[in-house]
Amino acid sequence: MWMTPCAARPSTERWSDRLPPGGCKVPPSPLNAYSQGESGGREGGMEMRPSQLSRTAVPLLPPGLARGQRGVSRLVVGTDFSLRSEFALARALRLPLAHGSVFCVLHVAPVLDGQEGPGGTLSGGRCLRKAVSAVCRRLRNRVDIDVREELGRGDPVEVASAVARMSGAELVVLGRPHVTYPVRALAEDSTVRRMVRQLGVSVLVVVPHPVRPYGRPLVAVDFSRESRRALELTLRLCPAPALVDVLHVVDTAAQEAELRRAHAPAERWLLLRQEREHQARVALGRFLAPYREAGRELEVRVRCGEPAEEGILAEALERGSDLLALAMSAVEARTPLTEQVLARAGCDVLVSRHPPPAS
């Protein structure tokens, strides 16, 4: 916009008052053009209503959930230059990144057998610079994003934990091999398993090749504070108009065992499941009320049965979900449910984990 030297005026000043004597004409704003078009461009008869600039000090939206943070502001992507790491990097580039965010690419050089010291590792510095250069090219239109590279040496989990802690990372993105059938449990020394257990921050495990942003995420909740944070993190990663399915699995194993010992008729089993499902739907509606009032579209899903196989994985397969999110306790490091889902899910898995509040 062409500007003429003039003194600062209040934001409600007319554009016509900004012209100094003998000064050049300031091009009209779109608001002026709209007001002229409405009045038909008539001259001399009726004075046209001038446009006014809105004051930036007044918020456009009231405070609350509608003004919540969108996207991720501090992100760490681990890479070992394999195909699964390329998938993780591609997915990270498709995530919504907040303004002024930090995008860190991490590679940990493995220690060679029988070698110690700086010369006993495969540095991979050149490959890391190529990966970072590719990220910079993809984000060339986002000049507000700070792209960094981190080259470590030693144990990948320990180095990644230190980098995430120093950078204040909100999310760590990893890649894992495709799920094979029959499905095998994750090994105790699996990098993905150790990362989820020991990092202490949220982890996104990428499985298939990402072709588009997330469009049908599924969030498993149990009405705890951790599951609420998992839902909110998913909403940040999947902004509107993405439809988010929210699932609660009703575990009736204990009550069904009692009915089995009492040789109860089938009607008692059916009535038990109906009552538990109704209670879960009511509680889930209250749980999701603040987000629906903010305008987010959420689908309520309730299932009965075993949480992992009959609940979360079955619902994800039935709905065709491309992201499966669940919460993990910040205190407990070993959660069988999380590891079962990680081992058997055919889509990306988001394990939400937040540090406990300081006492």
pLDDT digits (tens, 9 = 90+) for 287-317: 999 999 988 999 999 998 888 888 999 999 9
Percent of the chain with pLDDT over 90: 48
Dihedral angle, C-alpha 55, 56, 61, 63, nearest 10 °: -120
More confident residue, 163 or 52: 163
pTM of the model: 0.76
| Burial zone of 178 (CB within 10 Å; 0-12 exposed, 13-18 middle, 19+ buried) | exposed
Helix (H) or strand (E) holding 107: strand 97-109
Find the mean pLDDT for residues 112-122: 54
pLDDT digits (tens, 9 = 90+) for 161-217: 999 999 999 999 999 877 666 666 667 678 888 899 888 899 999 988 898 999 999
Q: What digits encode the pLDDT tens for the residues 63-72?
A: 444 444 578 9
Which residues lie below 8 Å from residue 355, measured CB to CB, with a gap of 6+?
A: 200, 201, 330
d(CA 20, CA 17): 8
DSSP 149: E
